[in-house]
């Protein structure tokens, strides 16, 4: 093979796209990483301080100026908390069941109803569809404090006061979920849905097997917001029976017990925030994985 031919072959086998090197110096990289570490520490500091406070004995909790890390870490605050909960005539497991039931059913119902409604609004045109979505958007402007009185009157008329449904049913109709799912489903290719229908797929199969897997980032985000809202809901406005109250309500009653329960109050904060943080960490990894592997365009 001649020299010219070798050069042509080598040139042909060169990669078509050259890797671009980042246009910054080593000092710039170091500054960027240090800045990110600082931001990460600031974001994580409240969690670190809450956990360290729960591990401090009482003498360190009242120390001034306060320290970030415990010098003599102990689990006495958690053991005292469970002892106090054990003395209640309603067991700890009952409070936990109430919270888990309300959170699980409310989140599942919210996800299903919001997704089905968003699918119709995003991919079908019908009289009043745009008006209905505008009402949903306006409803997002009102906080729960504004709608609390009309909600109470409606739930009382339905006979749902002092039941789980007083918390679960309003969670189904949260406008945030419908708005989020509808905006995300509008970016889903309509050609993909039409192709499935041509292949003989029913409406339910199109929704469940095609639409929902492709909008996974949206409904995982919806799960995060819904779990955080329901798990931290004291439900004291609508539920009066002690055996139906939530875990957060019972723990906050202990937390309000005065100076003697300061250590237990620090442990309460950790127990309350464990589940939302765990759900967020799990959902965040799923969202990043789905976004990296998707990206369909019409």
Give a yes or no: residue 227 inside a domain. Answer: yes
Give a yes or no: residue 50 inside a domain. Answer: no
Give a yes or no: residue 76 inside a domain. Answer: no
Mean pLDDT per 10-residue segment, the chain (298 residues)? 52 50 72 89 86 84 80 83 77 85 92 90 85 86 82 90 90 87 84 85 86 84 86 85 84 73 80 80 63 47
pLDDT for the residue 294: 45
Domain ranges, residue 173: 83-293
Give a yes or no: residue 71 inside a domain. Answer: no
Instruction: Check: CB of residue 265 under 8 Å from CB of residue 251.
Output: no
Give backbone dihedrals phi and psi of 21, rounded to 5 degrees, phi first. -85, 140
Distance CA 254, CA 250 (A): 7
Whole-structure pTM value = 0.75
Give a yes or no: residue 55 inside a domain. Answer: no
Domain total for the chain? 1
Give backbone dihedrals phi and psi of 98, rounded to 5 degrees, phi first. -60, -45
Closest CA to 68 of 45, 98, 40: 45
pLDDT for the residue 9: 45
Q: What is the CATH number of the domain that holds 127?
A: 1.10.3720.10
Q: Please confirm whether the linkage preceding 120 is cis (ω < 30° from 0).
A: no
> Residue 246: left if φ>0, alpha if ψ -120 to 50, beta else—which one?
beta
Q: 68 exposed, middle or buried (CB, 10 Å; 0-12, 13-18, 19+)? A: exposed
pLDDT for the residue 297: 47
Farthest-apart Cα atoms in the chain, separation: 94
């Amino acid at each position: 093979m001649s020299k010219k031919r070798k050069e042509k072959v080598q040139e042909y086998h060169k990669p078509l796209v050259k890797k671009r090197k980042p246009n910054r110096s080593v000092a710039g990289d170091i500054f960027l990483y240090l800045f990110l570490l600082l931001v990460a520490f600031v974001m994580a500091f409240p969690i670190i301080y809450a956990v360290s406070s729960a591990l401090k004995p009482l003498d360190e909790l009242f120390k001034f100026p306060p320290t970030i890390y415990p010098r003599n870490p102990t689990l006495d605050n958690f053991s005292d908390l469970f002892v106090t909960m054990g003395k209640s005539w309603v067991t700890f497991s009952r409070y936990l069941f109430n919270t888990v039931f309300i959170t699980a059913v409310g989140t599942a119902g919210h996800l299903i109803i919001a997704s089905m409604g968003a699918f119709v609004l995003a991919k079908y045109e019908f009289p009043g569809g745009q008006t209905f979505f505008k009402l949903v958007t306006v409803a997002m402007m009102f906080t729960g404090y504004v709608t609390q009185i009309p909600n109470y009157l409606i739930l009382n008329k339905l006979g749902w006061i002092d039941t789980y449904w007083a918390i679960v049913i309003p969670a189904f109709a949260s406008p945030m979920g419908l708005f989020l799912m509808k905006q995300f489903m509008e970016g889903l290719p309509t050609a993909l849905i039409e192709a499935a229908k041509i292949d003989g797929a029913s409406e339910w199969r199109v929704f469940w097997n095609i639409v929902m897997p492709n909008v996974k980032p949206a409904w995982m985000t919806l799960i995060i917001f819904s779990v955080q809202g329901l798990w931290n809901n004291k439900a004291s406005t609508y539920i009066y029976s002690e055996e139906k109250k939530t875990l957060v309500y019972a723990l906050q009653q202990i937390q309000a017990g005065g100076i003697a329960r300061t250590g237990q109050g620090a442990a309460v904060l950790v127990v309350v925030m464990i589940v939302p943080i765990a759900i967020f960490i799990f959902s965040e990894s799923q969202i990043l994985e789905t976004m990296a592997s998707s990206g369909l365009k019409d």
